[in-house]
């Protein structure tokens, strides 16, 4: 039985993966904000007749745009498990405007990077205790090495959705350098090959809302189908750091300052975490 942790496992592709591993008989912890969505997921699997779901499906309620809650989840996972085989980072809440949390940090930067950093580094010992540990980070690969503004990581001076998105995607590719310091670990930044019919949780303007509402039903893939390439990668991990779009390998965007850049990001997270 594998131990699988899925952030954003109450909805969309995270929920599709949680369902898959629960059907397969694995132990799955879902992290999200909605206990009701988790209960519905478990109820549907129970109706299907999947065995011993109640003992294998766990929920941790947390707002991962808060550093303290992300750290708290990592601590709970360390108490619960001696080993994590699969860590799936799929929590998502799209914000087109800058939003500052109660902790005083920019919400998207924390949700899409700082929280993931805390999971990857905080759970490193549990991951290396697995035979073939895999980290899936649903951060679409393919940004430029210069996408991060180290003087304005939380976009206080200028915020644009495109810049914020590119910056967190680049940071998540760099996070793979730390994740794979132990060569046993596979770290995959992954995006679907095309639009997926998910909840598109977020606070977005009418153009994006309408585009997703109109396009997703027309051309979007079902989440259960979209995650099939991930299921294959998790079953036979490629090793080291890699990037995929659907089932197709994508180039990692590597630059000469990558080691320096990830150490600058690590310092920024330590400072932000210490300030809480």
Binding site for ligand NAP (CB under 6 A): 8, 10-14, 32-34, 37, 62-65, 90-93, 111, 138, 140, 191-192, 195-196, 198-201
Minimum Å gap between C-beta 226 and ligand NAP is 8
Residue found under tokens 């998207």: 108
Distance CA 117, CA 171 (A): 9
Closer residue to ligand NAP, CB minimum distance, 184 or 224: 224
Q: Which two tokens stand for residue 273?
A: 């975490």
Closer residue to ligand NAP, CB minimum distance, 8 or 133: 8
Q: Is the dihedral of CA 113, 1, 236, 259 positive or negative?
A: positive
Residue 238 main-chain phi, psi, to 5 deg: -75, -15
Minimum Å gap between C-beta 34 and ligand NAP is 3
Q: Which two tokens stand for residue 23?
A: 């059907």
Residue nearest to ligand NAP (CB): 12
Minimum Å gap between C-beta 276 and ligand NAP is 16
Closer residue to ligand NAP, CB minimum distance, 128 or 216: 216
Closer residue to ligand NAP, CB minimum distance, 71 or 263: 71
Minimum Å gap between C-beta 257 and ligand NAP is 26
Altogether, the residues listed in the chain come to a count of 276
Please state the three-class secondary structure of 52-106 as a single string.
CHHHHEEEEECCCCCHHHHHHHHHHHHHHCCCCCEEEECCCCEECCCCECCCCCE
Single out the residue of 95, 208, 237, 227 nearest to residue 160, CA to CA: 95
Minimum Å gap between C-beta 140 and ligand NAP is 5
Instruction: Give the torsion through C-alpha atoms of 168, 109, 37, 49, to 10 deg.
Output: 40
Minimum Å gap between C-beta 187 and ligand NAP is 15
Q: Which residues contact 70 (CB under 8 A, 6 or more apart)?
A: 62, 64, 110, 114, 115, 118, 119
Closer residue to ligand NAP, CB minimum distance, 53 or 62: 62
Minimum Å gap between C-beta 30 and ligand NAP is 8
Closer residue to ligand NAP, CB minimum distance, 51 or 104: 104
Closer residue to ligand NAP, CB minimum distance, 35 or 267: 35
User: What is the end-to-end Cα distance of the chain in Å, rounded?
Assistant: 37
């Amino acid at each position: 039985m594998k131990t699988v942790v899925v952030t954003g496992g109450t909805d969309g592709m995270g929920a599709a993966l949680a369902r898959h591993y629960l059907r397969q008989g694995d132990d799955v912890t879902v992290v999200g904000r909605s206990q009701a969505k988790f209960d519905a997921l478990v109820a549907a699997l129970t109706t299907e007749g999947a065995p011993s779901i109640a003992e294998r499906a766990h929920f941790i309620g947390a707002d991962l745009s808060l550093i303290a809650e992300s750290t708290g989840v990592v601590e709970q996972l360390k108490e619960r498990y001696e080993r994590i085989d699969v860590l799936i980072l799929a929590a998502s809440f799209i914000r087109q405007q800058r939003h500052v949390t109660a902790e005083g940090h920019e919400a998207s930067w924390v949700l899409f990077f700082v929280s993931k950093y805390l999971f990857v580094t905080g759970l490193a010992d549990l991951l290396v205790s697995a035979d073939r540990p895999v980290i899936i980070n649903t951060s679409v690969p393919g940004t430029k090495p210069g996408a991060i503004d180290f003087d304005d990581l939380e976009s206080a001076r200028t915020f644009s959705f495109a810049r914020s998105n590119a910056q967190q995607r680049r940071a998540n590719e760099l996070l793979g350098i730390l994740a794979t310091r132990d060569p046993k670990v596979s770290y995959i930044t992954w995006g679907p090959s095309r639009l997926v019919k998910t909840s598109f949780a977020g606070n977005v303007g009418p153009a994006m809302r309408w585009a997703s509402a109109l396009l997703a039903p027309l051309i979007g893939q079902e989440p259960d189908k979209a995650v099939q390439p991930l299921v294959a990668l998790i079953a036979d991990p490629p090793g080291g750091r890699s990037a995929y779009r659907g089932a197709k390998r994508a180039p990692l965007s590597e630059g000469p300052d990558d080691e320096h850049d990830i150490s600058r990001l690590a310092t920024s997270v330590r400072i932000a975490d210490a300030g809480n």
